Amino acid sequence: MKNYFTQFILIFLLTAVYQAQAQSGVEVRGKVQEKGKTEALPGATVILAKPKATTGKGEVTNNQGGFVFKNVKPGNYVLRISFIGYKTFAQNITVGTQPINVGTLLLQVDSKRLKEIQVTGKVPPVEIKGDSAQFNALAYKTNPDANAQDLVKKLPGVSVENGQVKVGGENVQQVLVDGKPFFGNDPRAAMQNLPAEIISKIQVFDQQSEQSRFTGFDDGNTTKTINFVTKVNMRKGSFGRLYAGGGQDKSQNGRYEAGANYNLFRDDTRITLIGQSNNINQQNFASEDLVGVASAGGGRRGRRRGRRGGGVNDFLVNQQDGIVQTHAFGTNYVDNLFNKKLDISANYFFNRGDNLAQQLTNEEYLLGRTEGQLYDENSTSNSINMNHRLNARVRYNFSRRTSLVWSPRFSFQQNNGSSLDFGRTTQNGLEFNSFNNDFRSDLTGLQLTNFLLVRHRFAARGRTLSLRVRNTYNQNQGESFLDSDIIENGIDDASLNQFSDLLVNTQNIQVNATYTEPVSFRSMMMFTYGIQTEFGNSDKRTFDFSEVDQEYNQLNNTLSNANDNNYFAHQATVGFMTRPKRRRIMIRVTYQNAELTSRQTLPGDFEIRKNFVNILPMAMYSHRFSKSKNLRIFYRTNTTAPTVEQLQNVIDNSNPIQLQVGNPDLQQSVNHRFVARYRSTNVETSSIFFAVVTGQHTQNFIGQSTQVFQQDTVIANYAVAAGSQLTQTVNLDGYYQARTFLTYGFPLNFAKSNLNLSPNALYTRTPGLVNQIENISDNFTTGFNVTLSSNISENVDFTLASRSSYNWVINSQNSAANNEFFNQNTSLNLNLIFLKGFVFRSDINHQFYNGLADGFNQDFWLWSLSIGKKFLRKKQAEIRVTVFDVLGQNNSLQRTVTDASIQSIQTNVLQQYVMATFSYKFKNFAGKVPVRERKRRRPF
């Protein structure tokens, strides 16, 4: 760790001595407000250009109506200001060698239907606001029916994969609307229910924690966030949409969709209602909807699980993972009360998903005696998942200096599932073993979280005191039935008929106090002391069926386990931050002392006690070279304690030939993470460049040790058939990951479109053990993403995107097991409006896989198209006919590469269907947007 820290400090110091080149020019500033009133006009477009120039510098007024142009060279200029519903303002100014303040400029309301006015300046597509990238929605035209997700897909560096929005390759975890939470941590629901036409700006940033935002010290806990800033004239009114449709697929199965959303905006008061029901895989629930039952098991239990403890992905049904019938309802409420002293946001969400999944699995093992060993599985599963989720955030300002933030969260899940599985293991063409499984489960999960922050700002600038308390309680409980036959060498070797009862409780409490003290005008110190305690207990009892008593009453000690785990840590932190001109430097060091106690009472009684002492450094450097260029470098260390499930020393035999077991002797892991981000924009050329480089190293990485048995073996009184595997969590050193993501976006003026190019690369080094032989798996991925999006008009809207990746895996122990494969996804989304209300939509997706196992290489097209007609006076109603999967080629394939194996999974998908749908949009805003305004602001 010292070597890595030393290297980072050297890089940090070298970067810190870099000084921006002196900039020539002066500032031109001013303020915009409505004539005859005192209110400012935020969001107005301000263009500064030479008198005869067709382009110029562009700015947008801030919340106080102010604007600033920096580094303006001496000369004569024309200052033009335009805003929705107002007459365009123009004024000649002369810039010399001294800064200019043009004062308050007044815009007059445009009450007449004037001819279209052409503003020759460009609306800048993106601006750098501190550590945030702010995109102007006017620079990315969409069709009238587009939602926020359709809009963000046009932005540089943004992609949507299986409904998950990613920025720079990282998942977006939170969506805000005008800075307020919108449906909690559910970006999918938020974006699919927010129309693009009300959005003025899109801000993308890593939101700091509540405590960091208050103190000014970055604790490293960030959330990838998108904030949608709405148009000023659309913050008072109501709008929404309802739709219903029905049809039939080629197997004569009925297909339907129905839903509605309603939004009421009254400035600070906002209410949203959404609801939907369908059986065409239209899902909008988030991964946290299943977090309560994820570690307890679910309906699909045949195939290999991966790391110990399961995971949300084992239960979350993605867009092409099986066929799902969804019923969902949600509501969101935002308000400011008591003269803006109380700021509140809350949301409730319910969904039910009925899933039918049929999967074919092929897994090839790579090392030692497992080389050439194949595992094939055929699984059919049914599951019903119901989720209730309630989130809230309350901020109360006791005074100008003292405030309180309270964020409670509640979720409750129920999962009922069953699966029928057949799997077999072969080597060199000969069958080792096979099994037939009938598995059923009924599980519930409860999660309660409370976050409380009390903070006070003293009279001295920079002096603050804050107290943070966080409490989380999780409970998972349920039962499962397993009926399995194991066949070895063609002979029925063993049968299992078992019932398991599970109860897992975990409670975590964190308390810390932070004090900041200014040491100069630009520098301050931070002192933090905190404690963390976690209590967890897990009790799993497995009973064999008694043929005599005809009930499950024979306790199986080998497959039963009861243990208690306690984790206690206290840490002290000291930090220093300084803000020299255009830069910010922060260094922080944390001393952590932790103790982990694990006591097992079943099947045996023993206790393990461990102590951990760590010095955890953190450093951050940011440099704003100019208004359009900035650099941020970040280094952080943290520790991760093993979970209750990873410590549980009990065999999981839900797949009887691919067993798993925890490890009570696990150590906590220490993570080192490095991130560098560079952003640059050019207003005059409307080009954008982003670069992200990340690196990670984990000490005591929690990996896997797999043991393959060549003959019948007894492990801890459990009979294991020949050819079976036992996977256990273990600590391993040598895990590394490095990633780079570049984006360059620019307009193609001749095509009235925007082009975004995004090369990327990923390297992962994963250690693992197979039969006690260490294998290092080096996984390399190079990719290239390209997006061409139209900026023509709302009547012609298209997005052409392609994501390509080339993967190759190198294993240290078996070069013959090295593997290469290529994956490419290309899509074209087209929306045309013609002949006074006719709408043509076409969505084409081409998926290409090469280099997979025999029978798993794929090359298919998924093409859906529709034709519709808008009617009524404002074209708010539409009837359309949709054909899904016109070519009948829809397919689903997943590829996973680990240190020990390569796995391919193919899943059933929706069949071709035809559907007729009626939809109706409504909106009623206090302010109207003139039609000419859309043409007045020409992005390019």
Model confidence over 69-107: pLDDT tens digits? 888 888 899 998 987 667 889 999 999 888 899 999 998
Predicted TM-score (pTM) of the model is 0.78
Of the two residues 921 and 233, the one the predictor is more confident about is 921
Please indicate, yes or no, if residue 8 is contained in any of the structural domains.
Answer: no
113 and 248 co-located in one domain: no
CA distance 829 to 143: 11
At 851 the pLDDT is 74
Secondary structure (DSSP) of 833-847: EETTTEEEEEEEEEE
Output the six-digit token pair for 299.
């309906």
pLDDT band, residue 329 (cuts 50/70/90): very high
Q: Which of 120, 147, 162 is the last residue of a domain?
A: 120
pLDDT band, residue 802 (cuts 50/70/90): very high
C-beta separation of 527 from 495 below 8 A: no
Please indicate, yes or no, if residue 197 is contained in any of the structural domains.
Answer: no
252 and 114 co-located in one domain: no
pLDDT at 613 over 50: yes
Mean pLDDT, to the nearest integer, of 770-783?
90
Q: Residue 711's CB: how many other CB atoms inside 10 A?
A: 9
Residue type present at position 584: R
- DSSP conformational letter for 73: P
Mean pLDDT, to the nearest integer, of 356-384?
82
pLDDT at 291 over 80: no
256 and 115 co-located in one domain: no
Edge to edge, the sheet with strand 170-171 lists 158-161, 164-167, 170-171
| Helices and strands per DSSP (H, E), number in the chain | 7, 51
Mean pLDDT, to the nearest integer, of 656-680?
90
Mean pLDDT, to the nearest integer, of 911-932?
79
Structural domain boundaries enclosing 102: 21-120
Secondary structure (DSSP) of 854-899: TTT-EEEEEEEEEEEEEESTTS-EEEEEEEESTTS----EEEEE-S
pLDDT at 836 over 50: yes
pLDDT at 928 over 50: no
Average pLDDT over the chain reads: 84
C-beta separation of 142 from 69 below 8 A: no
Per-residue CA distances from 918 to 214, 257, 314, 822, 933 (Å)? 48, 10, 36, 41, 30
At 778 the pLDDT is 93
Of the two residues 537 and 63, the one the predictor is more confident about is 537
Q: Supply angle C-alpha 556, 560, 565, rounded to 5.
A: 165
Please indicate, yes or no, if residue 906 is contained in any of the structural domains.
Answer: yes
pLDDT band, residue 852 (cuts 50/70/90): low
Kindly report, residue by residue over 239-266, the tens digit of the pLDDT.
999 999 999 998 889 999 999 999 999 9
CATH number of residue 820's parent domain: 2.40.170
Residue type present at position 454: V
Please tell me the least confidently modeled range out of 178-182, 295-299, 557-561, 906-910.
295-299
Q: How many domains does the chain have?
A: 2
CA distance 872 to 877: 6
pLDDT band, residue 626 (cuts 50/70/90): confident
C-beta separation of 418 from 426 below 8 A: no
Kindly report, residue by residue over 694-713, the tens digit of the pLDDT.
999 999 999 999 888 878 88
Output the six-digit token pair for 162.
């299986």
At 23 the pLDDT is 43
Q: Which of 79, 99, 120 is the last residue of a domain?
A: 120
Considering only CA atoms, which of 144, 139, 155 is closest in space to residue 787? 155
100 and 244 co-located in one domain: no
- Bond prior to 603 in cis (omega within 30° of 0): yes
Please tell me the least confidently modeled range out of 233-247, 702-716, 796-810.
702-716
103 and 245 co-located in one domain: no
113 and 250 co-located in one domain: no
Residue type present at position 126: V
pLDDT at 602 over 50: yes
Mean pLDDT, to the nearest integer, of 890-899?
77
Please indicate, yes or no, if residue 309 is contained in any of the structural domains.
Answer: yes
250 and 110 co-located in one domain: no
Of the two residues 14 and 485, the one the predictor is more confident about is 485
Of the two residues 373 and 316, the one the predictor is more confident about is 373
Please indicate, yes or no, if residue 574 is contained in any of the structural domains.
Answer: yes
pLDDT at 555 over 60: yes
* Percentage above 90 pLDDT, the chain: 48
CA distance 73 to 91: 18
At 169 the pLDDT is 73
Please indicate, yes or no, if residue 619 is contained in any of the structural domains.
Answer: yes
Output the six-digit token pair for 361.
């699995």
Q: Supply angle C-alpha 573, 574, 575, rounded to 5.
A: 120
At 370 the pLDDT is 55
Per-residue CA distances from 351 to 285, 330, 652 (Å)? 7, 8, 30
Q: Which of 102, 120, 138 is the last residue of a domain?
A: 120
At 7 the pLDDT is 46
pLDDT at 788 over 50: yes
Mean pLDDT, to the nearest integer, of 454-471?
93
Please indicate, yes or no, if residue 605 is contained in any of the structural domains.
Answer: yes
Kindly report, residue by residue over 672-690, the tens digit of the pLDDT.
999 999 989 887 788 889 9
Per-residue CA distances from 357 to 421, 507, 581, 847 (Å)? 12, 34, 58, 20
CA distance 300 to 357: 9
Kindly report, residue by residue over 20-69, the tens digit of the pLDDT.
333 457 889 999 988 877 777 877 888 888 887 756 787 888 877 889 88
Please indicate, yes or no, if residue 870 is contained in any of the structural domains.
Answer: yes
pLDDT at 846 over 90: yes
Per-residue CA distances from 737 to 165, 251, 373, 672, 765 (Å)? 22, 46, 28, 10, 6
**Count of positions (residues) in the chain:** 940
Please tell me the least confidently modeled range out of 289-303, 334-348, 453-467, 826-840.
289-303
At 16 the pLDDT is 38
pLDDT at 18 over 70: no
Kindly report, residue by residue over 187-229, the tens digit of the pLDDT.
887 888 889 999 999 998 888 888 888 887 777 678 889 999 9
- DSSP conformational letter for 82: E
Please tell me the least confidently modeled range out of 78-82, 122-126, 310-314, 358-362.
310-314
